[in-house]
Amino acid sequence: MANKVAQETTSGHAPPKLGTLMWLCIAAWLIPGLGHLLLHKKWRALILFSAILIMFLMGIAMQGQFFSTGTDSYLETLGYFGEMCVGLAMPVARFFGYAGGNPLFVSADYGTAYLVTAGMLNTLAVLDTYDIAVGRKP
């Protein structure tokens, strides 16, 4: 009881329930910036959404390669999970016919790096959403 009161007084509000926190993080993962928007951090949500989406679209414009899990390479598997961290953008790009780029294109390696980096940035945005929701960060 005393711990709960201490949490409420240090952060100014009671921490959210586990179910609410889970759905907030899932929303932040699926659509970059949505978690911050739900927490009423509109400018931060707009900046994160724009930065992650532009980085992902630049990776596609540079014909970056989508990794797959069908290989024995651990690095390709990690790259796949890195790209999946961007949320719905990767499945939507595949739905609209983007097959994963051209490895012989001049900037394809940079495009692949942009795709993975967009996913990693979205992971940091999800962690930031969590920190704001539990009251660790304003």
Give pTM, 2 decimals: 0.83
Distances in whole angstroms, Cα of residue 99 to Cα of each of 22, 51, 80, 82, 136:
32, 23, 14, 17, 41
pLDDT of residue 22: 95
| Segment (H or E) for 82 | helix 74-84
Q: Is the pLDDT of residue 2 over 70?
A: no
Q: What is the pLDDT of residues 67-80, one digit of tens each?
A: 887 778 888 889 89
